[in-house]
Each structure stands twice: as C-alpha cells, then as structure tokens.
Amino acid sequence: MRAYFARRLGQSALTLLGTSVLVFLILRVLPGDPAKMLLPEGAPQSAIEELNRQLGLKEPLHVQYAIFLRSVFRGDFGQSFQYRAPALQVVVERLPATIDLTLVAMALTVAAGVAIGIVAAVRAGSRYDYAGTVLAVLGQSLPSFWLGIMLILLFGVTLHWLPTSGFQGWRYLVLPTVTLAAYPTALVARLTRSSLLEILRQDYVRTSRAKGLAERTVVLRHALRNATIPVLTVIGLQIGTLLGGAVITESVFAWPGIGKLVVDAIFFRDFPVVQTILILSASIFIGINLLVDLLYVVIDPRIRYG
Amino acid sequence: MTARRPGPLAAVGAALLGVIVIASAAAPLLSASNPVKPTFSQRLRPPLGLGGTASHPLGTDNLGRDIWARLLHGGRISLVLATSAVLLATGVGVLAGLLSGVMGGLVDDLLMRAADVQLTFPVIMLAIAIVSVVGTSPIALVGVLSLSGWVLHARTVRANVLTVWRLDYIEAAGALGASRHRLVLRHVLPNVLAPILVIASSQFATMVLLESGLSFLGMGIQPPAPSWGTMLSEGRDYLSNAWWLGTVPGLAISAVVLGANLLGDGLRDWLDPQSR
C-alpha cells in the first residue's frame, strides 16, 4: 500500500511540474512581448528593457524556466499591477469566497445527484426515472450563465424572493450555488443511475434479496457501496468543472472570488495574477484527485494489491 | 444479431439541430434587418405578442437592432466556429491517438503527459488565458476551442489501437507484407470510427457552450458582430425592463446544445451500446 501511495504522490508531483511548464509557456512563448505584457500599459521603454533583463528574457528558455520555478518556490508570483500588491496575496484574499461557493455546490451536487440517480435506478422505467433523466439532460444542456440569468430574473427581479448579487449571508449563496451545481449534478445523477442499474443486475444482489433482506438494505448497504467507485471518480473530476464553472457563475453574480478575479485580471492584462490563479487551480485539482485516488484504496481493497 | 435503430430521441435531437442550422445558414433570406447597425429610435421594442410588431418578431435590443436578425446571424458565426473546432479537435485527436498507440514509447509518454497536464486546468480558465495572449480572431477561437476537445479523441483512439494491435489478424497481415501504414488505415481506423462519431457529436455541444461562454465573458466574438453569448451579456443589464434580450439567445443556445446532446446520446446507444 505504501508503494502505491508513493507512486501516486510522485505522479502528482510530476504533473504539477508539467503544469508549471504549461503556464510558463503560455506567457513566454506565445506571440507578444512578455515584458511588455507583464508591465502595465504605457510603461516606458527603459522599464521594459529593465524587466527584460531582470526576467532574464535574453537567456535561453530553460534558464528562464529555472528562474521562474525558483521564484514560485519562494512564494513570489510577481506583483499584481491592478492592486499593487503581491499577486499571491491578492489571490489568496479572494480564495475563501470561491471555496464557500464551490463547497456548497459540491455538497448539493453529491446530495441531489446521488439521490436522483438512486431513485431513477431503483424505479427504472417509471415516471420518476423519466423525470430524473429529463432533469439531467436539461442540466447538461442549459448554459450555466443563462440559467443564472433566468434564476435572477425569476427569483430576484420578478418574485423578489432572493437577492441578485452580493455575498453576505446564506440567502446570497442560493442562486449562485444552484447555477454552479446544475451541470455536475446532472452528470452525477446519470452516472449514479447507470452504475447502480449495472450493479442491481449482478448475482450477489439477487442473493441478498433471496436471503430475505429488505430492498432498502440491499440497495443502500450492498449495491451503493460498489457504485461508489465510479461516482467518486466523477466527483473528483467535477472539482475541475466546479472551478471552471465558478469563473462564469462568479461573473454572472458578481461573486468576489477567484473566478471573477481571473476574468478581471485578464481584462487588465494583470498576468502575474493570471499566472497565480492558473497554478493554484491546477494544484487544487491535482491535490483533490490524489486524495480521491488514496480514498479508493480505503474503499476498495482490491486496489491495494494492484 | 439485429442491428438496433437510432431511437426517437436521437431523431428529435437531429431535427432540432437541423432546423437551427438551416435557419442560420439561410439567415439573410429569413431576415431583412441589419443585425449590426443601431437604430436608436427602435430601442428595446418588445417581441410580437407582447406589444411588438411583426417587423421585429422577437423585439429589438438596447441599440435598436432586430433580435431575430441577430439571432440568425449570430447563430451562423457560432455554429461555424463550433463545427470547425470539432473537426480540428477530431483530426488532431485521432492523429495523436494513432501516433501514441502505434509508436508507443517516448511519443506515447509525451502525448499522454501533455494531455494530463492540460486537463488539470479548468477548460474555461485555460481558454481565456490563451485568448488573452493570442487574441479573439476566428482562427484563434477555433484553435482554443479545439484544445478542449482533442484529448478525448486521442485517448479513445489510443485505447482502441492498443487493443487491436495485439490481435492475431494484424500480425498475420503484417507477415503477409502489409506496411504499418496500411495496417493502420485498413484495420484500425474503421474500428475506431463509431466511438469517434459519438464523441464528436457531443463535443459539438461542448464547443457551442464554450464559445458562447467566452463571448459572454467578452473574450470571444467581439461586438458589434452578433453572437449568442454577447447578446446574453448585453441582455443581463436589461432584465427588469426588457427581459427578452437575455432570454431569447439563451433559448437558442439551449436548443442547439440539447439537440446535439440528444443526437449524441442516441448515436451512442445505437453504435456503442456497451458504453451506456
């Protein structure tokens, strides 16, 4: 088991390194003068030359990458020119808002998605199944920014039940969370349904029924356990979807998190902040997927020896 | 074994998609209004049936432009971009998958690692970061969109190649003198066609969503060119007095995506029933 842990850890570290290469390349290799891009608009030529020299942009590419990596390890992600503060600080300040949104959306996704999936699987072919599937297809098809706007229109403008933007208190969380969670919930619901259907056909399920166990026990204790694995994979992958979805949802609801920050930063050509957010979100994704993989081992003993 | 026919849902999806595609293609025939020129005397007119006139069946926007015209012309642009992106993603992805599977070794490692690294970023974040550097020209947009799609094709084709490559009849064909080239083209590729088709059709939905999302954020098609995404973001400011501005383009996007998803699901059920 320890060998598996070590191997996965190593793989994650390697992927993280590759991620830093990609972020580095996007800024340095694609067309455009990087120094000019890293400085605010209208900076004098002398400042551009100076930054060029400082960043070692005259050096060969691998030397530049080494310099970049070294500063990242020291926690120096550059200076945000929008806010005149270290980029890392600017990003970390806004992280909690996004974490709030993402966590609640994730909770909603798991709860609603799994519940809908179970009902649809257990009552396959009935109108509950039909309703669930329709909801899932809609959830995957409606663009989230439109859903958000429609929800604002319905609950905010027309009914005045919920506030339309801002973020103090749980009431402000409702609409953005529902908007963000729609797509992943649909995905989880469909996957839970198909996994569970697959499992309910298996022999051991038939055996437990034959043993006289209540249907509820069969489904919840025995079948669901085995359905957990693929569902867990998808949940781990949904972190990426949620982080990406947060970019749009936060823009729709003016939610002050890193999603909105990255859009604003790009408009302002604030590349240090953009860089920081890219690396941060990739790290979160890699971290969570590593956790999910390690969690597998706990849940499914077969993997331990694989 | 009886061949299953595509179900009714797939037909619905195909019909929905077809109607929208044809309408967009025929945009200049279906609407005489100029989608780009502002007419300030006609600002914020409601659609037909809600107090509007037949000359603007879906109303006008904040600059007096006919929404029906903008919908059709915007549809053209969005659909062409999405289609090109799907074709490019499929081409690049299949090629990458073949190279990976057939050549193995370092090439395989590099390609799959690159895919893994790319996937750690939320697609839209990567997209807006790249757009900020390369700009929003149609070519740049198609490139960025296809970036979100090539990996799935590559992985599927690679898995397929790895399975087929070991089979005896490949070895036999090789022994008979078939070149690697021919082996791939005549034996591997036909096998892989069905799943690729399924993936491509559901990717179309993703591309449309991604493109309209980018435009919504202001990083896609730039005004005054019409795009469903930009129409939505413009409409957001008028929710209380001209709600149709934001509702109509969203319905269009939803219809296209729904159609593509239904079609994709139907195709998958028909061609590849095991992957339910």
CA A46/CA A37 separation, integer angstroms: 14
- Tell whether B130 lies on the interface with A, counting CB pairs under 8 A: yes
**Of the candidates A30, A138, A277, which has its C-beta nearest B133's C-beta?**
A30
Q: Which residue of A has its CA nearest to B114?
A: A18
Instruction: Tell me the pLDDT of chain A (306 aa) as tens digits.
Output: 678 788 888 888 888 888 888 888 887 665 556 566 666 667 777 777 777 666 666 677 788 788 888 888 888 888 777 788 888 899 999 999 999 899 999 999 989 998 898 888 888 788 888 888 888 989 988 999 999 999 988 888 777 777 766 666 777 888 899 999 999 999 889 888 888 888 888 877 778 788 877 777 777 777 777 777 777 777 777 888 888 889 999 999 888 899 999 998 888 777 788 888 999 988 988 888 888 888 877 777 666 554
pLDDT tens across B6-35, in order?
A: 677 778 878 888 888 888 777 777 777 777
Cα of A73 to nearest chain B Cα, Å: 19
C-alpha dihedral, B138 to B142 to B147 to B150, nearest 10° = -170
φ/ψ (deg, to 5) at A86: -55, 135
B217 near A CB under 8 A: yes
Round to whole Å and give the CA distance between A180 and A169. Answer: 18
Chain A partners within 8 Å of B115 (Cβ): none
Q: Quote the ipTM score.
A: 0.85
A212–chain B nearest CA distance, Å: 30
Contact assignment for A149 to B236 by CB distance below 8 Å? yes
